[in-house]
Structure formats: structure tokens, C-alpha cells
Structure 1
Amino acid sequence: MKKIVTILGARPQFVKAAVLSRVISKFNEIEEVIVHTGQHYDVNMSKIFFDDMNIPTPKYNLHINGLSHAAMTGQMMEKIEDVLDKEKPEAVVVYGDTNSTIAGALTAKKMNIKVIHIEAGLRSFNMKMPEEVNRILTDRISDLLLCPTNTAIENLKKEGFDNFTNKVVKSGDIMKDAVEYYSQFSGDKSSIISNLKLEKNEFVLATIHRQENTNDIENLKSIFEGLEEISKVKMVVMPLHPRTKKILDSNNLKYKIRVIDPVGYFDMMELLKNCNLVVTDSGGLQKEAFFHKKHCIIAREETEWVELVDNGIAEIVGSKKESIITSFNEFQKAQIDFSIKLYGNNVGESIYKEIKDLLKQK
């Protein structure tokens, strides 16, 4: 039986990887070994997390976190090398754009092991973002690039991938499968809406955590002032990221919005299902908002998911208070067809077939 090693480092990657793991288990033709680098230490990622979400428990946990980018990536490569030397897989699967992604891809490539990159071809065109560096380098050394959108395919073509030996495939977005699967029972797993006494469509869900916002105090103030203004019309509920909380506290900044502790996946899904719209600087949440038929105000200067903006589903506003408020008011009147097909169907099975074909090659 052919073997793959899947390298994961952050909770969203586990959620996406669970889709492929279920398909692998269904066909029982490939052995999968899961490695958790430990990059994003998360107290919520306990045994309950894996049991409740039907996610395979990693065979290896490398416990690497809280270091600089260079130290983290270097230590990951060293330990991943030991795992790959022991497991001897035919291919390594990596997701997205974290340090775990590039560490897994680089280590595998240097050991002449095939690299499979899920969520390939995404670009923000902002080289100050560590994620942008990670995704560009991972794409270049991957053997199989599984792209979620036509835009991702075009990005790779513009970078000359037609001239390389890598195989580039439009697979669709695996997160769509995850949302469809977990949506079936998130209401049974979460009581956050009743616990917080929230009413459907009567609150705005907000998350802010990116360094370009949290490390620039003027940007942060402007965003929160915009959210505070919105709260006069609709309650704003914000699961507060520890980084954001630390900076707000250290600068004695307080705003009249409803701040709650960070939430688990099912709680976040229920908040998404029931909110009016989303304000975020998260990449993944932009898409999840769309999957739940919600508009999204993007508190960044760019997005990897340009099709959401092109179709009027999301709007990029940066950190400007006035732009946030204007976008909110416009979306209250917008009539958008959320049935538009942007991210494929049965993505997990499509990806599985491509991996199976790759493993047949010598």
C-alpha cells in the first residue's frame, strides 16, 4: 500500500485535512500518516477536538511553537526529516501557507519525496506577509499543485508554471467540503447562540488578528472605531484574538462592542450561520462567510480570494473607519446571489484521485 505523510500545523489545516482523510479511509487504498508540528499551540486541540470533529489523531506531535520564523522552520525541518526517514512515504501533503507548510515541502523535496500542495496558487502580492513567501516557495517545489480557483491557476501561469514539470490542477476549495460536512451537526455541538442570547441576523461577527493591523496602533484604532459605530445599529460580537487583546490592553483601548473569548470551530460556525455579516482580516473566514451566504468586509489591503470581491460578495476596506461603515451600510441593502459556484464540489474526492494518480508514477 502506498503511503503519504500529511504535515499540519494549525487548527484550520486539521479541519481541511479531515476531508481528505475521510476519503482516504473510505477507499482504503493509501496509508496516511499525520504529523502535527505544534506550530499553533491551541488548548482547544484536545482529544475532544479530534473526537468531536471526527479528525484522525496525529501519529506524531513535534511540539514546535513560540519561536521566530527561522528557528521554527529550521526545527520543524529537522524533526520532519526524522519522521520521513522512518516512515519512507511516497509523497508528502502540505496545506496552505504556514511555516509548517514550507518546512514540510522543503524537507520532502530535499529527500527526493514528492510534494503535494493543497491550496496552491493563492497570492496576495504582498511580500511582507510571511504567508506569501511560504506559499510561493512551496508552489515552486511541489510536484502536484491543487488549486482552489481559476484565479490561482492564472497566478501560476503568470509565474511561468507552464514551463515547469509540476502538475497544476484546479481541484476546488477543500474548505467547502469541510463546511458542508460540519454544518450538518454544528447546531448540536454548539450552544453559543443561546448562551450569548443572540438573535439571528441581528449581530455582526468580527475578527481582527493580522500583524499589519495589530502592530499599527492607528490602524487598530480606526478599525475598532468603525466597529463601534456599526454597533450603534447592530451588535458587534468579536471573539478576541490573544494578540489583539494584549495590544488593546497595553494601550488602554476600550470600545463598546461585545468581546468574547476565542471560540472553537463549531461555535464559530454557528456565529457565521446566524450573523448579519462579517468583518475580518482572516483569509479563511472570508470564504466561510460566503459558504454561509454572508457578506464580508475585509479589513486588509488585499485578498487571496479575489473572486469574492469581483462578484460583489466581499469588499476590501483596509483599516479605514469610514470605509468600514460605508461598506456595512451598502451591504445592508445589497441583493447578491450566493448560489454562484466559485469553489467546486466533492473537492476531497477530486484531490484524492489526483494524489492516487501521482503515486502511480515512478
Structure 2
Amino acid sequence: MKLFVVAGARPNFMKVAPFLHAIARHNQRCVAGNGALEPLLVHTGQHYDIMMSEVFFRELNIPTPDVNLEVGSGTHARQTAAVMVRFEEVCHRDRPHWVIVVGDVNSTMACTLVAAKLGISVAHVEAGLRSFDRTMPEEINRLVTDALADLLLTPSADADENLAREGVPREKIHRVGNIMIDCLVANLARARARRAPVRLGVEPGRYAYVTLHRPSNVDCRESLEAILENLVRLSRDLPVIFPVHPRTHKALEAFGLDHVGAPGLHKIAPVGYQDSLCLTENARLVLTDSGGLQEESTYFRTPCLTLRPNTERPVTVTEGSNRLTSLEALAGDIQAVLNGPERLGRVPDLWDGRTAERIVQVLLKNGTP
């Protein structure tokens, strides 16, 4: 069974890695190749910065992509169109039985559209997540992808319910768990060995870890300035480790805010996946607008504030350690976290490091279309 496995942006890499490793383990168990799966890794090139892309392939032991579409950056329309044009050529040249897409980036939707129009079956890993906010480009990508996919592989019960409410037949929905946690579990020992807090000069359990990149937070001068003011204030009590995303870096420069800081506010270059895991596990507080960090902090039970009005991962709030916040509430919410317990919530069901194995079994059960 030939599979095209699509990765487009940094969050995708942590999701395809455990899946590719699970396929390799499955193929080792096959006798004389019977029942083997043939994955071809398609990297769309949606992220092209080495710290946002290539370093992740090295850290996660992902093989060199079989195909690199090299689409680069651009508007949503241009990027989506470029992926579609180039991915269609690949599908015509080497038609797969299944296209496997993950997450909610532009590449996910673009490759799903191409496959659906060519009559190629699509499996969506991390299906059914909803923020119910259509101003988010990712929400549009989720809705379109799930409307067209043939297999919807969900991480949690709320995702199942969202799909059922949208009219997706139950037989298409398979709850397999959170594949991000597979990657976390596989990398945890190496992440801990990197001792990122110590290398950065902070004490484990005595610092805040901050990542921000969403347009609603960094593309507006007033918002970004207010965030910096909160970080400077926090840094007087607790060191702040702030790896600056390329988008955020450009905004800081454009608004003339790149020199705003304080001795305890450590603005550093983007970090690799394993360093990020180590920083998340050992932080006293995580402040982010990232979907992945909401999940990873929940696994570690590290208190997390998500600077967004909504989340497509509500299980991190209802069961985990996550809390939504806003610019208006941020100072008070930071103080509430610092006054509260150092560990919160519980690890949700099926966040056990075996999601990729369950996905392989679902694909084998559904067979060659």
C-alpha cells in the first residue's frame, strides 16, 4: 500500500515522525514484504527557515523527504495554490493509494483538495479539532480537510463529537489519540539530557517559557507592546525565556520594539524541539499562543496560559493544565498561576505514546481503496 505522507510546517514534523517510525516497525514484522506499507514523505516547504524546518528533521530522525515542493512563503492563496499545483504533478507521476495529512496548516488543506479531486483517498491525522473561530486560517483548513477526508483520525472525544455534529458518518471516525504525545514520549530522554534550562542560565522550576507568533498577537503594535510590558514586569520576579519566532522578530523590528527588554527577559533564537520539550517540562509557567505547547504542557502538567480567545484543544483546559487568557487579563492570570500549584490537571485518555501504532492498524483495516 503506497502512502504519501505530507509535512508542510514545523508542527507537522512532530506528527509525521512517530507515524513513519511506526510504519518502519510494522514493515520489519512483515514476512517477505506481505502487508508492507510504502511511505513517501512529501515536504511542501511551507516552512523554509532552518530552525523552523530542517533542524526538526535531524532531531526527530526523519528521513530526507522523497519529494520537496519548495513552495516557501506567501499569502494564504499563493501558498495554497503553489502546493496544489506542485502536489498534483507528484500525484500524477506516482499515484498513491492514500494521502496522509496531519494538522491544520495550508499544506494540509491544499493536498487534501488535490487528492479528493483526483479520487485518491485521504486520511487526516488530528481530525475534528475546532476553535469555532473562522477568522483563524487554521479553522478553515480544518473544516475543508475534514469535509473531504475518507478517514478522520481524532485525538479526543470532543473531536469525535464535532465531526458527528457536522454530519460525518460514524464509520469514518476513529479515535486514535494524540500523535504529538508519541513524539514527546519518544524524545523525552534526549530532551532531558540536553538540560536546556541550565544551559540558558536559569533554575529548573524557576522561570517562564514564552512562545508567541500568531498574527493577532504580534502583527499589531499595541498588542505586541502590551505583551512585552507584561513580560518585562514578569521578568522582575521570574526569569523569562522567550525564543523569538521569525514572524515575531520581523514585527519587533518593524515596530521599533526590538530593543525593549529587561535583564531577566531573555530573547533568544528559536529553539529545537527537544530543547522546547525540556523547557516546557521544567517551566514554572508557560505562556504561548501555540497549539502544540498547550498539549505538551498538559502532558507535563505544567501551568500554561494561552494568549488566545479560544482553543481547538479544549481538552487541555477541561482536563489539562491550560487556561485561556487575554491582554486585559494577562497580568492577573500570571499572578494567579504563580500563586497556585506547580503542577495542574491530568493527562487525557489515549495520550500514551501509541497513537501512531493505532493509525497504522486503522489503515491496514481499511486496506487499499
Provide the TM-score with structure 2 as the length reference.
0.91
Q: How does 1:252-267 map to 2 (within 5 A)?
A: 252-253=256-257, 254-256=260-262, 257-267=265-275
- Give the partner amino acid of 2:278: E
Q: Any idea what the Cα deviations from partners look like across 1:202-234, whole Å, max 9, x if unmatched?
A: 110011110011122222222222222221211
SS in 2 for 1:161: coil
Look up the match of 1:228. Answer: 232
SS in 2 for 1:44: helix
Q: CA deviation at 1:47?
A: 6.7
Aligned with residue 276 of structure 1, among 272, 281, 284: 284
Look up the match of 2:302. Answer: 294
Look up the match of 1:7. Answer: 6
Matched, 1:184 2:189: yes
- Give the partner amino acid of 2:334: F
* 8 Å CA contact retained: 2:13, 2:56: no
Q: How does 1:17-36 map to 2 (within 5 A)?
A: 17-28=16-27, 29-36=36-43
* 8 Å CA contact retained: 2:126, 2:155: yes
Q: How does 1:299-318 map to 2 (within 5 A)?
A: 299-311=307-319, 313-318=321-326
Aligned with residue 176 of structure 2, among 171, 186, 189: 171
Look up the match of 1:351. Answer: 359
Q: Percent identity?
A: 36
Structure-2 change in CA distance of 1:338 and 1:56 (3 Å): farther
SS in 1 for 2:51: coil
- Give the partner amino acid of 1:244: T
Q: CA deviation at 1:12?
A: 2.2
Structure-2 change in CA distance of 1:238 and 1:78 (3 Å): same
Q: CA deviation at 1:280?
A: 0.5
Q: CA deviation at 1:186?
A: 1.7
Q: CA deviation at 1:128?
A: 1.1
* 193-202 or 43-52, larger mean C-alpha shift: 43-52
SS in 2 for 1:80: helix
SS in 2 for 1:85: helix
Aligned with residue 327 of structure 1, among 300, 318, 333: 333
Q: CA deviation at 1:312?
A: 6.1
Q: CA deviation at 1:246?
A: 2.0
Matched, 1:140 2:135: no
Look up the match of 1:206. Answer: 210
Q: Any idea what the Cα deviations from partners look like across 1:81-107, whole Å, max 9, x if unmatched?
A: 111122221110001111110111011
Q: CA deviation at 1:255?
A: 2.9
SS in 2 for 1:184: helix
Matched length = 355
Structure-2 change in CA distance of 1:53 and 1:90 (3 Å): same
SS in 2 for 1:15: helix
Look up the match of 1:112. Answer: 119
- Give the partner amino acid of 1:307: V
Determine the C-alpha separation between the residues in 2 that align with 1:65 and 1:352: 30
Q: CA deviation at 1:337?
A: 5.0
* 8 Å CA contact retained: 1:208, 1:280: yes
* RMSD of aligned residue pairs (Cα, Å): 1.8
Q: Any idea what the Cα deviations from partners look like across 1:115-156, whole Å, max 9, x if unmatched?
A: 000010111111111111011000000000001111111111
Determine the C-alpha separation between the residues in 2 that align with 1:38 and 1:31: 22
Q: CA deviation at 1:73?
A: 1.1
* 8 Å CA contact retained: 2:10, 2:56: no
* 8 Å CA contact retained: 1:213, 1:219: yes
Provide the TM-score with structure 1 as the length reference.
0.93
SS in 1 for 2:242: strand
Q: CA deviation at 1:286?
A: 0.8
Look up the match of 2:199. Answer: 195
- Give the partner amino acid of 1:62: L
Look up the match of 1:97. Answer: 104
* 8 Å CA contact retained: 2:297, 2:321: no
Q: What 5-or-longer segments of structure 1 have no aligned partner?
A: none
Matched, 1:155 2:162: yes
Determine the C-alpha separation between the residues in 2 that align with 1:312 and 1:134: 25
SS in 1 for 2:302: coil
- Give the partner amino acid of 1:160: G
Determine the C-alpha separation between the residues in 1 that align with 2:53 and 2:85: 25
Aligned with residue 245 of structure 1, among 219, 243, 249: 249
Q: CA deviation at 1:66?
A: 1.7
* 221-230 or 288-297, larger mean C-alpha shift: 221-230
Determine the C-alpha separation between the residues in 2 that align with 1:176 and 1:279: 19
Matched, 1:285 2:293: yes
SS in 1 for 2:233: helix
- Give the partner amino acid of 1:74: A
